[in-house]
Amino acid sequence: MLYKLLDRPYLIFWISIPIIILNAAYSRNDTIQLSIYDTYYIFSRFHLFLSISLLFAFMGLGYWIMHKAEKCLSQSLNIIHVTLTFGGIFIIWIISVCLHVSIMQYDANNNITNAIYLVAFIVFLSQIVYLINIIKSLFKTEKLKRE
């Protein structure tokens, strides 16, 4: 089962969309405050979750198109992309929900915020791995073998 999901990563992204949308509906009135130096950005969690679900829909569509075009994607790059994307988002969620609320000292709170930024940057870099995988498979002449 896990091999089938890793062979078709679009299923992982598309299955996660309803979960994200349910979470967005649950946290409709919550806001996220992002401070960069002296500037504060405040936005709704609802809009963040809808943006993530839209991003996942496009990534799933990209994987699906490559699968239908019978282009051979790198299995290792698929695993890296899926693991870093979902693992990073899960770690950000755990840090922000569980630790951010309970620790209110400035230094500890600042370190947690820096950790969230670092993990978010790693998630961003994993999207570059996704693009490399798609572009690399477009230029390969090897076709996907149907089982």
pLDDT tens for residues 70-114?
888 888 898 899 999 999 988 887 877 766 554 444 455 677 777
pLDDT tens for residues 10-39?
888 999 999 988 888 887 777 777 666 777
pTM of the entire predicted model:
0.77
Instruction: Reply yes or no on whether the pLDDT at 147 is more than 50.
Output: no
Q: Are 57 and 18 in contact (CB under 8 A)?
A: no
pLDDT tens for residues 122-143?
999 999 999 999 999 888 766 5
